[in-house]
Amino acid sequence: MEHGVSRIGVVGAGQMGGGIAQVAAVSGFGAVVHDASAEALDRAKALHEKLLNRAVEKERMTRDEADAALARISYAPSLDGLAGCDWVVEAIVEDLAVKRELFGRLAQMFTDDRVALASNTSSISITALAAAANDAAPRVVGMHFFNPVPVMKLVEVIRGVQTADEIVARTVALAEAMGKTPLKANDRAGFVSNRVLMPMINEAFRAWMEGVAEPEAIDGIMTLGCNHPMGPLRLADFIGLDTCEHIMNVLHRELGEARFAPCPLLRQLVAAGRLGDKTGRGVYDHSKR
């Protein structure tokens, strides 16, 4: 199946939205990225320039190719800037109410049956997001990229109850055209990736809280002993502790088992504003990196 896409709109210019826009542009698509925060848009633009300059230095791209990719990305301070896009990927905060509000607006803006409204959600029900999109529900699909988007190969593709077969097939084709490997999962909280990953991260916080070992030892044991590229606490900082807490809350609410409740220590760090790499401090201090 052809994806039939030329211009991708991305809502949210944080770690994930910025990465999705970059990969789209490098793969030859036009990309328009919108964020409610002007600072987030500025940060995304600066990071795109830095990462593509590095790709040129490392001779993975020519200067002309990098410049052409950068020229394909535009930064929209208003959601209206996405008008004319033929595919939308939502990558805003992992909050059901905020996402549902956005899907309602996107459904009003994009009435063409060919325009998919995809969500990069880590855990939230695609069917629940689709319910906010009214008549556009068959066009709502999960298109779950991984962090860092330019490096990670997977896109988890999630079909909601109402998602049209054609939209799922085009999501697969688009992910492939973006150089990714799409794998399908059903619409259950956390899908496959975070159903399995987040409880491990949460358990690492519990082990730390209970004094089983210090963070460096917990992470060292999991990197050296299990060959993980990052230990679970370092990975939590990388993902964002706020996002980890949101995901655990969804798992806990939807799957109803006490073991999915976010660890109190994780919740405490979030309450203290220690969100990980993005705020300079989480489990670890990243301010000097």
Name every residue whose Cβ is closer than 8 Å to that of residue 88 and which is 6 or more positions away in sequence: 8, 9, 10, 11, 82, 106, 110, 115, 116, 117, 118
**Structure-block tokens of residue 267:** 């919740």
- From the candidates 90, 94, 119, 122, which is the catalytic residue? 122
Residue span binding ligand CAA (CB under 6 A) among the ranges 30-38, 71-79, 189-197, 210-218: 189-197
- The neighbour count for residue 12, using CB atoms within 10 Å, is 25
For the residues of 197-259, what is the DSSP string, one character each?
HHHHHHHHHHHHHTTS--HHHHHHHHHHHH--SS-HHHHHHHH-HHHHHHHHHHHHHHH--GG
237 touching ligand NAD, by CB under 6 A: no
Angle, helices 63-71 vs 38-57, to 10°: value is 160
Six token digits for residue 246 = 């949101």
If you ran DSSP here, which 8-state letter would residue 7 be given? E
The contact pattern for ligand NAD, residues 51-90, with x = CB under 6 A and - = no contact, is ----------------------------------------
Is residue 13 part of the contact set for ligand NAD (CB under 6 A)? yes
CA-based R_g, the chain, Å: 19
Q: Which one of ligand CAA, ligand NAD, none is in contact with 37 (Cβ closer than 5 to 8 A by kind)?
A: ligand NAD
Total residues at the site for ligand CAA (CB under 6 A)?
A: 16
Q: Which one of 110-118, 142-150, 170-178, 251-259 is the stretch in contact with ligand CAA (CB under 6 A)? A: 142-150
Under rule CB under 6 A, residue 37 binds ligand NAD: yes
* Residue 12 vs 30, nearer CB to ligand NAD: 12
Is there binding between residue 197 and ligand NAD (CB under 6 A)? no
| Catalytic residue flag (residue 156) | yes
Closest CB to ligand NAD among residues 19, 215: 19
Q: Any contact of residue 163 with ligand NAD (CB under 6 A)?
A: no
Catalytic residue positions, numbered: 122, 144, 156, 194
